[in-house]
Amino acid sequence: MSYAKPLPVADVETQPFWQACRDGKLMLPRCTNCGHCRFPPTFYCAKCNSAEHEWIESTGRGRVFSWIVVRHPVPREVYATDVPYVVSLIDLDEGVRIVSNIVSVEPEKVTAGMPVRVIFRTVTPEITLPLFEPAWQ
């Protein structure tokens, strides 16, 4: 499988997240000391500085916080066939914010507060990307 776009690189902190995406699950680290969910995955909790955590499955649901519509791709040779596309900040139900693309909707129909749900797109054997679509789909 060939994929010509830049891909995330899993490391020791993010490997469980990317493995879960391959399994069709959106997993988040949650501090077992204070209960705070965090994203992106990190070793230490931003609220209490504890390293203790567990991985929980997200509902995969959230709301659009902010977004941009990309119409002029950079670099052009990589993204020219994708425009226009939506890059969004999504507030998940678990209280964390994730950056992703919104798909399956015309860019002009994306609105602040729009409910969305996660879907997964396998792009290589190692990487499955979490994307979001309107929850009414």
Q: pLDDT for 40-66, tens place per residue? A: 999 999 999 999 999 999 999 999 999
The burial of 113, by beta-carbon neighbours within 10 Å (0-12 exposed, 13-18 middle, 19 or more buried), is given as: exposed
For residue 1, being part of any structural domain is answered with no
Q: What angle do CA 20, 126, 39 make, to 5 degrees?
A: 40
> Taking 70 as the threshold, does the pLDDT of residue 71 lie above it?
yes
For residue 8, being part of any structural domain is answered with no
For residue 9, being part of any structural domain is answered with no
For residue 57, being part of any structural domain is answered with yes
Q: Domain holding 48: CATH number? A: 2.40.50.840
For residue 101, being part of any structural domain is answered with yes
For residue 6, being part of any structural domain is answered with no
Confidence of residue 137 (pLDDT cuts 50, 70, 90): low
Q: Please compute the mean of the pLDDT values over residues 5-25 and round it to a whole number.
A: 96
> Taking 70 as the threshold, does the pLDDT of residue 13 lie above it?
yes
Confidence of residue 1 (pLDDT cuts 50, 70, 90): low
- In this prediction, residue 92 carries a pLDDT of 98
The tally of domains found in the chain comes to: 1
Q: Please compute the mean of the pLDDT values over residues 27-50 and round it to a whole number.
A: 96
